[in-house]
Chain A
Amino acid sequence: MQTFHIRYRNTQGTLMRILNAASRRALDLPVVQAEPAEHDHQVTLALDVNQKQVGQLYREWYGIADVIKVTSGAAHTNAWALPHPPAGVAIEESRAAARA
């Protein structure tokens, strides 16, 4: 697992293009965290990738019009091993509200 920090201008579709570079390679996206960073935005991804894919992703991300900088490092997998919020929460809440 490797982490990638991608600094970008938050224009239409830029985050989706960044994510698409991973999803088109059928890479799972267990961690995606996007947030403002100074005057720009940054998204942090954790991906299970091989060395060849790292190179391809770097170059593809840099090819996106509003990507500014890409850096990477080893992932802290334990911290990210926590389960996602249950997918059904919103539906359960809606059901409860409907029954009330």
Chain B
Amino acid sequence: MLKGADIVLRCLRAEGVELVFGYPGGAIMPLYDALEGSGVRHILTRHEQGAVFAAEGYARVTGQVGVAMATSGPGATNLVTGIADAKMDSVPLVCITGQVRSPLIGTDAFQETDVFGVTLSLTKWSRLVRTIDEIPEAIAEGFHWARSGRPGPVVIDIPTDMLKAKKEFAGPVKFTPHARPADAKAEGGFTDTIVALLQQSSKPVALVGAGAKLSGAIPDLRRLLDDLNVPTFATVHGLGAVPPEAPYYLGMVGMHGTRAANTALHETDLLMVFGARLDDRVTGEPTRFAPHAKIVHFEIDPAQLDRVRPCDLPVIGNLADTIPAFQAELKRHSLPDFSSWRGVACGAERAELDPRGLAQPTIRFLDELFSRLPENNVVLTDVGQHQMWAAQRYRSSSPRGFITSGGLGAMGFALPAAVGVQLAKPGACVLCVSGDGGFQMNIQELATVHRLGLPVKMVIIDNKYLGMVRQWQQLFYQRNYAETDLSDNPDFVEIAKAYKIHSFRLDEDAMREFPVSQETGDQIDRFLRSPEPELLVFDCAPEANVFPMVPAGAALSEMLLEEEPTQ
């Protein structure tokens, strides 16, 4: 006879789970009681949101399912932002929540929340367990849905009496899904249609999103792109999928994308999308998105098609299947000579980096950091200006090397996510770049970093503002900096010291000379190679802005390259 809690842990082990992130509380205590000797290592964060973001970090960098645990009521509701984040960014995540005793469900008992209801629209699948017999099946099915198709979040809510109850346990079960029409794969006929479209095209481009990484299709994709040799760009989650040195690669596209990428996307007559949702941050004003183009959309999730703009040829299926099929067809045909288009789109004039941006000390600082990173590295960012600067300056061909909250844009993501990444990649240099606003949203996870001795390299770009909101206020709200002033920030160096974490400060004067001084370079090198956790606070100009920028409601071709007078 085993308790329900032991059965949960046995089933987790059967799914390959070694690490879970969580925070204990009343209704989930039986599960915590059973942890010792279970083979499942628990990482105590200092807030449930920290736990779910850490589980996401683990999942994003490994591709495996991340697991977070929390108690009922506030514990479970504190997971909600992370669940929404995992839904938006296709992160395989299983959240196990304790629930009040079965007889109390629906009575507004102490710490009772309808977690099943609260998370219904944010999850791929969820289950409120009613009997101990359901536990193995619920866990097997939950992991199946978290991993399958477009990955996403799952919630399994288990009443505390089910965790305490006992039963004979025959072992974990396997879940076999019912076949559905929606699971149909792409018909083979799409390949010659794309080739025909390419042969009619004079300005084709390729757009790469997260789906290319999630499908494991990166080697196939890179071979295909080499064969196509057309201007190519990536979404923020597609960064790292294409080697930055590829001569046809134009960097990031979208609201803060490069001038070259946005211009090519506006001019193209054939857009091939590989695993991207085409959300509004990528398209700009949808009615003026790629206005001359036919769109071929490779996508595993049919629900992502036609959201902002109808596509002309949907290719539904796993990119690991559809890209090789396309490439095989491509090899049987000759394509038009796209060299003159490539010369324009990828030419020096357009690819030239924004000179104003280059002059910014913060961008120079990020360049210094990135250029000095050890080979084995992962960069995380929080959300805001620093996130976009980092995305613009990131140069790596590591598909899972740049991790950020892209779809939801959840401030407070980076530090706890870095905990999960560092645990998954103990030998890697994990660089966590945050703003001063976002860092304070989960600052308590410094305690987790310290307790585990994780050598996370934390950077705060401190401009003493909620910088991205302030930038919008400056550009579009007549400099009315309503409630974005953080000039009374605490001393982050002293805070880190209180957590027994070494910390120091650099100001932007250190970046005014180019190349940077030997002393500054040595400081950065020592920081990145320290075997201990460290915090570097970079004092940034309060009103530095991110450019290029496509204003809300504008087309990609209407990007601002620098500040314009307020209207």
Contacts and interface: CB of A to CB of B under 8 A. Distances in A.
B302 interface: yes
A27 interface: no
Interface string A60-95: 101101111100000000000000000000000000
Given A20-B121, A60-B303, A62-B303, A12 B126 contact: yes
B124 interface: yes
A87 B505 CA distance: 64
Contacts of A65: 124-125, 145, 177
Interface in A1-47: 9, 12-13, 16-17, 20, 24
A52 B125 CA distance: 25
Interface in B114-149: 116-117, 120-121, 124-128, 145
Contacts of B333: none
Interface string B306-333: 1100100000000000000000000000
A52 to B, nearest CB: 7
Given A12-B126, A59-B302, A63-B302, A69 B181 contact: yes
Interface residues of B, number: 23
Contacts, number: 48
Given A56-B306, A56-B307, A62 B121 contact: no
A55 B306 contact: yes
B302 A67 contact: no
B126 A67 contact: no
B356 interface: no
**Which has the most chain A C-beta neighbours within 10 Å: B121, B145, B178, B305?**
B121
B341 to A, nearest CB: 31
B120 A17 contact: yes
Contacts of A69: 181
A59 B125 contact: no
B182 interface: yes
Contacts of B121: 17, 20, 24
B526 interface: no
A66 B305 CA distance: 20
Given A67-B180, A69-B181, A20 B124 contact: no
Interface string B486-522: 0000000000000000000000000000000000000
B301 interface: yes
Contact of A52 (B117, B303, B306): B306
16 contacts: A9-B178, A12-B116, A12-B126, A12-B127, A13-B120, A17-B121, A24-B121, A56-B303, A56-B306, A59-B305, A62-B180, A62-B181, A62-B303, A63-B303, A65-B125, A68-B181
Interface of A: 9, 12-13, 16-17, 20, 24, 52, 55-56, 59-60, 62-63, 65-69
Given A12-B116, A66-B178, 14 more contacts: A12-B127, A12-B128, A13-B120, A16-B120, A17-B121, A55-B305, A55-B306, A59-B306, A62-B180, A62-B303, A63-B182, A65-B125, A67-B182, A68-B181
Interface of B: 116-117, 120-121, 124-128, 145, 177-178, 180-182, 301-307, 310
